[in-house]
């Protein structure tokens, strides 16, 4: 059976927090759940590459996140609550409905990884757009698969910006080149070599190591088990590697906060641009080999569902089967070169 959406009334303190961390992350309660139908949109949102964002659009993005940070923390659209979404779904704040003894819900390490984060970003983006009154606002993607995007985008590290987060790696501030396979290497190679290594990581995760859906999406995950058994190729690397690379060094924050740990990852605005690129990989993967690569068609995948608050603070139920095509959700990605696509080395 498919994994069912959680029951918010039974949300509890997360069971899967790192030792010494004490935090709550349940969303505000609402008794009314609406079955979500993605609205038809007059204009597609085009998610741009973060590193080539115009000054005007950087300001817009910053403004939107600033307004989100200014919402009262019990508003489900506030930055605090948006960050909590990740903790709740990933650190065991929810039990799966209908199981005794209890079975927690964990969306990572399985085929729920891509669809869960897609819906999560979808509402995050719509909330930001609504806050600045721009229905075409599109979440920039951190283009770490392209040499020009293999650094933290500069404006995220501007201390006066709403996009700044203090809990990040000191050593990996720009112009450090991201290591898509972090922390495998003991020594950091020269930049050019790191770029080449990154391109082969991308080739492995997207092309050679992801020829069948389960390798790309991750293992199956059905109701009644506490998590999947293996992460998909992209979830493993570069996705998780970039989380750890971006989060604080452990001598400063013991659990690699913010980006380096599930419970705190959503507290860094960079998370959403990181995941925008992860989400882009889903679209790109399907286009490799002229569209021969297909989404999983197992009904337990398609009928799995989650709950989110939308931009009008309504609690909505969304299905995996409704998010397979980003266009039907009203957005696409700016096209940029894919230098890894034929990079076999
Ligand atoms: Cu929910 Cu990047 O992890």
Distance between CA atoms of residues 42 and 78, nearest Å: 27
Q: What's the pTM?
A: 0.98
pLDDT tens, per residue, the chain with 345 residues: 999 999 999 999 999 999 999 999 999 999 999 999 999 988 999 999 999 999 999 999 999 999 999 999 999 999 999 999 999 999 999 999 999 999 999 999 999 999 999 999 999 999 999 999 999 999 999 999 999 999 999 999 999 999 999 999 999 999 999 999 999 877 899 999 999 999 999 999 999 999 999 999 999 999 999 999 999 999 999 999 999 999 999 999 999 999 999 999 999 999 999 999 999 999 999 999 998 999 999 999 999 999 999 999 999 999 999 999 999 999 999 999 999 998 875
86 a catalytic residue = yes
Tell me the CB-side half-sphere exposure of residue 99, using CA atoms within 13 A.
Answer: 18
CATH for 8-333? 1.10.1280.10
Distance between CA atoms of residues 217 and 117, nearest Å: 12
Q: Which helix (H) or strand (E) holds 81?
A: helix 79-90
| Beta sheet of 34-35, edge-to-edge order | 34-35, 315-319, 305-309
- pLDDT at position 212 is 96
Residue 305, beta-bridge partner list: 319
Name, in order, each residue with C-beta under 8 angstroms of 47's C-beta and a sequence gap of 6 or more: 138, 139, 140, 141, 276, 280, 331, 332, 333, 334
Provide the CA 33 distance to its chain's centre, in angstroms. Answer: 24
Which DSSP category does 189 fall into?
P
Q: Which atom of ligand 1 is nearest to the CA of 117?
A: 1
- pLDDT at position 136 is 95
- pLDDT at position 345 is 59
Active-site option among 51, 108, 146, 172: 108
Name, in order, each residue with C-beta under 8 angstroms of 39's C-beta and a sequence gap of 6 or more: 330
Active-site option among 51, 117, 172, 274: 117
Name, in order, each residue with C-beta under 8 angstroms of 87's C-beta and a sequence gap of 6 or more: 14, 23, 25, 93, 262, 263, 264, 266
Which DSSP category does 319 fall into?
E
Alpha helices (H) in 266-327, listed in sequence order: 270-287, 299-302
Question: Would you say 239 is a known binding-site residue?
Answer: yes
- pLDDT at position 187 is 87
Question: Would you say 146 is a known binding-site residue?
Answer: no
Domain ranges of the chain: 8-333
CB of 108 sitting under 6 A from ligand 1: yes
| CB-CB contact of 97 with 7 (8 Å) | yes
Concatenated DSSP letters of 43-59: S-EEEPBGGG--HHHHH
Question: Would you say 275 is a known binding-site residue?
Answer: yes
Q: Helix, strand or coil for residue 316?
A: strand
- pLDDT at position 185 is 77
Name, in order, each residue with C-beta under 8 angstroms of 243's C-beta and a sequence gap of 6 or more: 256, 259, 260, 265, 274
What is the distance in A from the centroid of ligand 1 to the CA of 265?
A: 7
Distance between CA atoms of residues 235 and 241, nearest Å: 9
108 a catalytic residue = yes
Burial class (CB in 10 A: 0-12, 13-18, 19+), 291: exposed
| CB-CB contact of 72 with 256 (8 Å) | no
Measured in degrees and rounded to the nearest 5, phi and psi for residue 211 equal: -75, -25
What is the distance in A from the centroid of ligand 1 to the CA of 262?
A: 7
């Amino acid at each position: 059976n498919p994994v069912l959406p959680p029951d918010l009334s039974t949300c509890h303190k997360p069971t899967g927090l790192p030792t010494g961390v004490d935090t709550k992350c349940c969303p505000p309660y609402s008794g009314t759940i609406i079955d979500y139908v993605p609205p038809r949109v007059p204009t597609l949102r085009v998610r741009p590459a973060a590193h080539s964002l115009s000054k005007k659009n950087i300001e817009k993005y910053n403004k939107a996140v600033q307004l989100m940070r200014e919402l009262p923390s019990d508003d489900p659209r506030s930055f605090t609550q948006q960050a909590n979404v990740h903790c709740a779904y990933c650190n065991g704040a929810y039990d799966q409905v209908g199981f005794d003894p209890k079975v927690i819900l964990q969306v990572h390490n399985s085929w729920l990884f891509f669809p869960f984060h897609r819906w999560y970003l979808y509402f995050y983006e719509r909330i930001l757009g609504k806050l600045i009154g721009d229905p075409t606002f599109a979440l920039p993607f951190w283009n770490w698969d392209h040499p020009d995007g293999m650094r933290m985008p500069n404006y995220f590290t501007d201390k006066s910006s709403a996009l700044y987060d203090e809990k990040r790696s000191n050593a990996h501030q720009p112009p450090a080149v991201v290591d898509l396979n972090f922390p495998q290497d003991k020594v950091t190679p020269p930049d050019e070599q790191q770029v080449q290594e990154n391109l082969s990581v991308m080739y492995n995760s997207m092309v050679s190591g992801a020829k069948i859906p389960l390798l790309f999406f991750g293992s199956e995950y059905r109701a009644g088990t506490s998590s999947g058994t293996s992460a998909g190729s992209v979830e493993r690397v570069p996705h998780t590697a970039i989380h750890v690379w971006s989060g604080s060094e452990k001598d400063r924050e013991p659990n690699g906060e913010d980006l380096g740990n599930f419970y705190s990852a959503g507290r860094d605005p960079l998370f959403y641009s990181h995941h925008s690129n992860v989400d882009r990989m889903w679209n790109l993967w399907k286009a490799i080999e002229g569209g021969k690569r297909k989404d999983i068609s197992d009904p337990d995948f398609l009928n799995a569902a989650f709950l989110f608050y939308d931009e009008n603070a309504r609690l909505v139920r969304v299905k995996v089967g409704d998010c397979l095509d980003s266009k039907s959700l009203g957005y696409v990605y700016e096209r940029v070169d894919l230098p890894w696509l034929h990079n076999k080395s």
